[in-house]
Amino acid sequence: MFIRVEGLHKNFGDIPILRGVDLSVRKGDAVFIIGRSGCGKSTLLRCLNGLESFELGKIHVGNVDVQMSGGQPLSERQIRGLRNQFGMVFQSFNLFPHLNVLENVIKAPMVVKGLSRADAEAIAVPLLEKVGLKSQLFKYPSQISGGQQQRAAIARALAMNPKVMLYDEPTSALDPFLVDEVFQVMRQLADEGMTQIVVTHEHRFAREAADQVIFMEDGLVVEAGPAEQIFHSPKDDRTRVFLRKYA
């Protein structure tokens, strides 16, 4: 298993958000996490790449192991270890509004890896071409559509050469007719063998693209399995109730 999460506990103050999450992801798989808002799926993503600390449990990614057993926050080294593995795409894109599309993509390689502008652009331009934004390099985020912004955000994450891509409801803020252009890019990455974890409410896309679907409720994984199994013959009653209501 490329990613293994065991017994992950996370509280916000006194409120438990994750109550012992277990998860396994094979290299190259596309894993879709579904569930109601507030079930902990976004928090799970944020714990994976170290944006949130956690109280208890273990995360293993590639050759990085992070185990927590007390209340202390993650160390700088642990955070760095996790973060290098993941690229993250946010619901509201979070592009840097003061930079144009190209600058958004080359910023982190230049600042973090110390690349020259030319070297960073040599990475960024093909990526932007891949997500179909070659003609928009010098536009500012406010000047392009939501779908274009999200694709730029994907290119920005890819520029740091992550092993795994995390998507936190990547299409929730988009007009319905812009959703497909983002999925198109994710599909292409899957074809190239990128490991991807997607939190989404788009069950249609999950059904068609997922290698594994995970249903979460109340900070726990209720059921995990192939898309076919979860959507057509769920084993757990809670999954069944959820799908009847939202699918």
Partner 1 sequence: MKSLIAGMLIALFGAASAPAATAAEGVLRWAADAEGGAPYVFRDPRNPSRMVGFEVDLMEEVAHRLGLKAEFVQNQWDSLIPGLQRGDYDVAVNGIEITEDRKREVLFSDPYFVTYEQITVRKENQDLQSLEDAKGRIAGTLKYSLAERILKAQGGIEVRGYDSQTTIYEDLSNGRLDFVLLDHPIAVYYGNPDPRLKSVGRPVGDMTYGIAVPLSNAALQQKINQALSSMKSEGKLREIYDRWGIWNSRMAEAFQDYSPSKKATELNEYLAAMGRTQTWRQQAAQYWSYVPLLARGAVTTLQLSAVGMILAVALGLLLALVRLYVGGVPGFFAMVYTEAIRGTPLLIQLFFIFYGLPNIGIKLSPFVAAVIGLGMNYGAYEAEVYRAGFLSVPRSQMDAALSLGMNRWQALCHVILPQATRVALPPMTNDFISLLKDSSLVSVITMVELTKVYGQLASTYYDYLGIGILTAAMYFVIGLPFVRLSRALEKKFTKGRPHI
- What would you measure as the largest C-alpha separation in the chain, in angstroms? 55
Q: Which structure tokens are listed for 53?
A: 């600390």
CB of 100 to partner 1, least distance (A): 7
Of 31-39, 116-124, 152-160, 196-204: span binding partner 1 (CB under 8 A): 152-160
User: Per-residue x/- mask for partner 1, residues 109 to 138, rule CB under 8 A?
Assistant: --xx--------------------------
CB atoms within 10 A of CB 226: 12
Nearest to partner 1 of 100, 239 (CB atom): 100
What is the CA angle 71-26-57, rounded to 5? 10
DSSP H or E stretch at residue 240: helix 237-246
| Beta-strand pair 212-217/195-199 | unpaired
49 near partner 1 (CB under 8 A): yes
Q: For partner 1, which residue of 11, 24, 94, 229 counts as binding (CB under 8 A)?
A: 94
> Is 180 in contact with 150 (CB distance < 8 Å)?
no
CB of 50 to partner 1, least distance (A): 8
Q: For partner 1, which residue of 64, 125, 160, 243 counts as binding (CB under 8 A)?
A: 160
Of 5-13, 127-135, 155-163, 187-195: span binding partner 1 (CB under 8 A): 155-163
Nearest to partner 1 of 96, 246 (CB atom): 96
DSSP H or E stretch at residue 41: helix 41-48
> Is 222 in contact with 216 (CB distance < 8 Å)?
yes
Q: Which structure tokens are listed for 146?
A: 């939501």
Whole-angstrom distance, CA of residue 222 vs CA of residue 224: 7
195 near partner 1 (CB under 8 A): no
10 near partner 1 (CB under 8 A): no
Site residues, partner 1 (CB under 8 A): 49, 51, 76, 80, 83-84, 86-88, 90, 92, 94-100, 107-108, 111-112, 139-143, 153, 156-157, 160
